A and B are shown apart, each in its own frame.
Chain A
Amino acid sequence: MTTKKTVLEVNNLKTYYQTRLGEKIKAVHSVSFKLCEGEIFGIAGESGCGKSTLAMSISGLFLPPLKHESGSVFLEGENIFKKDINYLRKEILGKKYSYIPQSAMNALNPTIKIKDFVIDLMKEHEPEMKEKEILELTRDRFESLSLPSRVLDLYPLELSGGMKQRVVVAISTLMNPVVVAADEPTSALDVSTQKMVIKLIKELFDDGIVKSIIFITHELPVLRHICDRIAVMYAGEFVEVGKMEDVIFNPIHPYSQALMQSILVPEEGMKEKKLPCLPGSPPDLRKIPTGCRFADRCPIATEECKKEEVEMTSLGDRSVRCIRINYIMMQGKKVTPYGTKY
């Protein structure tokens, strides 16, 4: 990586959900990372590990039951947790940081036409802008995502799953945000449309309209093609962060290894293989055990692993949250038995 300007800095962020039942669900725990201008940062990890919560927390808008415990977020040098909610809504959200939600389907108000939704949204940020200009801009962006302009006159109910997803991608990038966090932006899309949406997001990026991207997805092959760096998240923490090639092809953390082994690709012979599946489940985020959070499922866990919280160990341009890195290296980085048949 060249020494580019840092656009986003997340320091030791901890956030949780305060539930109706009076419990604390610690969804994000001590996450730190930096995002440089021109960088695409991928986040992968087990379902429910806190990826969406992390992306929402970065916006600084803590809507109940989500709460901020500690840590800070700097966006282009601005400490956004110090700002009030009106400022965040007007100046940050959509303009500097745009979160493309996972369930795009729910982000759209079902009772109003797409057109009116866009107009309302833009007027909130750019009261000066004329309706005609807004619609022109929207049509343009729709076109590049192969959305027919008739979509503007439809209600969300009348769109297919993938169309809704593309509509949300288009709308979230209308104001040319500095950082876009795309949460599973392509999970409802067929491969060809997926490719198109990713190409568009990349285009916005290559044209400098969007400066950096956080890309959350379960589709590891997609990360492989667009990311510079990848973080693997497990039970609220990053367990491995590094260059794309390293994390995907040469993972060190036992969880990352297991994850990379379950990739499904339609290639001859795949059908006969038994898919690997990690036994057990991640810890209950309400009562997190001491020690390594992966210990219950880790094939090489020792008593030592369960004693105290495991910190990130830095190995040059990669960091790994594990106390047995030396052992893993000695085993040629192959410690998960799952799917070694591959």
Chain B
Amino acid sequence: MAQNTEEIIRVENLTKVFGSGKKAVKAVNKINFSIKRGEIVSLVGQSGSGKTTVTRLILRLLKETEGKIIFEGKDVTNIKSEEKKEYWKKVQAIFQDPYASFNIFSPVKKVLLDTFKLFNSSYSKKEKEKLICETLESVNLRPEEVVDKYPFELSGGQRQRIMIARAHLIRPQLLLADEPTSMIDANLRSGILELLLSLRDTDGCTIMFVTHDLGLAYYVSDRIFIMHEGEIVEEGSANKIITAPEHPYTKQLIKDVPKLSEEWLTS
């Protein structure tokens, strides 16, 4: 893979503390990383380790306690709400909780049509609808079967795929995908992963996967970041993390992956 060396995003000392005093929770603790354009990285870590908080910080949905976010060379830590719309054209997310990301009182078609508002596109309604249909088909959904449904009328995996379709329509520069395939069956997942990977190959999209699925992380990413209790404890190439992990926590994670062959629950 030809690797571009241009940096797309960098976070410095990023920290988020929820609450204060005795009840304070340090969800993200002084993390630093840099991602290159066109790179695919995975952020892997235990439940509650702060992964979703990192994505929400990058999206500027949460105010940091400390630290900086540099996107395309520009400090975006303090962008104003008017600038956010512009920023979100370039930085998009697929959320872990599908309900959190779209209005559950809008049918799928409206949810998807609304995404065009983000880029004041010159498409006609017809063209938009055609694009929507194509995108839905690419995530293996039958447009006529889902467009008039509300999100709560879909199965878990169908909902996740609508979100992937949405991200695909927007074609952002940086896509933060928080557990995008956790509810999708193994067979379909491979198709969806190919679709996400094609975003990189055709549009040069940079992707950060947030996942607990090391198999997936290994398969798709160039680099893996291992997060533990708010900190990034190890980072390296996907191959290195899987075959020669160094940090004890990474080793534990790899050991805990359910495999078909060996004993798992008893170990």
**Residues of A participating in the B interface, judged by any CB pair closer than 8 Å:** 17, 19, 21, 44-48, 52, 65, 102-103, 105-106, 150, 158, 160-163, 165-166, 184, 187-195, 198-199, 202, 218-222, 224-226, 248-249, 258-259, 261-268, 270-271, 275-278, 281, 284-286
Point out the residue from B140, B156, B193, B219 that lies within 8 Å of A281, measured CB to CB.
B140
* B259 contacts A221, C-beta separation under 8 Å: yes
- In Å, the complex CA distance between A253 and B5 comes to 48
Return 27 A-B CB contacts under 8 Å, by A number. Answer: A19-B149, A21-B148, A46-B188, A47-B156, A47-B157, A47-B183, A47-B185, A48-B155, A103-B98, A103-B99, A165-B47, A187-B183, A191-B253, A195-B258, A195-B265, A218-B182, A218-B185, A219-B258, A221-B264, A225-B265, A261-B187, A264-B186, A266-B219, A266-B242, A276-B187, A277-B194, A281-B142
* B140 contacts A265, C-beta separation under 8 Å: no
Shortest beta-carbon contacts, A-B, top 10 = A162-B47, A47-B157, A275-B190, A190-B212, A264-B215, A221-B258, A262-B186, A191-B256, A187-B182, A266-B218
> Could you say which residues of chain A place their CB within 8 Å of the CB of B253?
190-192
0 or 1 for each of B176-200: is its CB under 8 Å from A? (1 = yes) = 0001001111111111011000000
The residue on A at minimum CB distance from B145 is A284
- In Å, the complex CA distance between A276 and B188 comes to 9
User: A67: shortest Cβ distance to chain B, in Å?
Assistant: 14
The residue on A at minimum CB distance from B18 is A158
- New contact pairs (11) apart from A46-B187, A194-B258, CB-CB < 8 Å: A47-B156, A52-B156, A103-B97, A163-B48, A188-B179, A195-B264, A199-B265, A221-B264, A249-B260, A264-B219, A276-B187
- In Å, the complex CA distance between A2 and B125 comes to 63
User: B161: shortest Cβ distance to chain A, in Å?
Assistant: 8
Q: A44-B185, A161-B179, A281-B142 are in contact. Are A224 and B193 (CB under 8 A)?
A: no
- In Å, the complex CA distance between A163 and B51 comes to 13
- In Å, the complex CA distance between A19 and B154 comes to 12
* A161 contacts B97, C-beta separation under 8 Å: yes
- In Å, the complex CA distance between A332 and B194 comes to 30
The residue on A at minimum CB distance from B190 is A275
Q: A21-B148, A150-B23 are in contact. Are A163 and B260 (CB under 8 A)?
A: no
> Chain B interface: which size bin?
35 or more
B238, CB-defined interface residue at 8 Å: yes
B213, CB-defined interface residue at 8 Å: yes
Q: A189-B47, A248-B260, A281-B141 are in contact. Are A52 and B155 (CB under 8 A)?
A: yes
User: A153: shortest Cβ distance to chain B, in Å?
Assistant: 8
**Residues of B participating in the A interface, judged by any CB pair closer than 8 Å:** 18, 23, 44-49, 52, 96-99, 140-142, 145, 148-149, 153-158, 161, 179, 182-191, 193-194, 212-219, 238-239, 242-243, 252-254, 256-260, 264-265
> Could you say which residues of chain B place their CB within 8 Å of the CB of A202?
265
User: A342: shortest Cβ distance to chain B, in Å?
Assistant: 12
* A46 contacts B156, C-beta separation under 8 Å: no
* A190 contacts B44, C-beta separation under 8 Å: yes
* B187 contacts A265, C-beta separation under 8 Å: no
The residue on B at minimum CB distance from A106 is B99
The residue on B at minimum CB distance from A45 is B185
> Could you say which residues of chain A place their CB within 8 Å of the CB of B186?
218, 220, 259, 262-264
* B145 contacts A262, C-beta separation under 8 Å: no
User: A21: shortest Cβ distance to chain B, in Å?
Assistant: 6
* A102 contacts B156, C-beta separation under 8 Å: yes
* A265 contacts B215, C-beta separation under 8 Å: yes
- In Å, the complex CA distance between A103 and B98 comes to 9
Point out the residue from A184, A193, A194, A265 that lies within 8 Å of B260, measured CB to CB.
A265
> Could you say which residues of chain A place their CB within 8 Å of the CB of B189?
218, 262, 264
> Could you say which residues of chain A place their CB within 8 Å of the CB of B48?
160, 162-163
- In Å, the complex CA distance between A161 and B160 comes to 15
* B46 contacts A105, C-beta separation under 8 Å: no
> Could you say which residues of chain A place their CB within 8 Å of the CB of B256?
191-192, 194-195
Point out the residue from A65, A150, A191 that lies within 8 Å of B214, measured CB to CB.
A191
The residue on B at minimum CB distance from A249 is B260
User: B142: shortest Cβ distance to chain A, in Å?
Assistant: 6
User: B117: shortest Cβ distance to chain A, in Å?
Assistant: 26
> Could you say which residues of chain A place their CB within 8 Å of the CB of B252?
192
> Could you say which residues of chain B place their CB within 8 Å of the CB of A248?
260
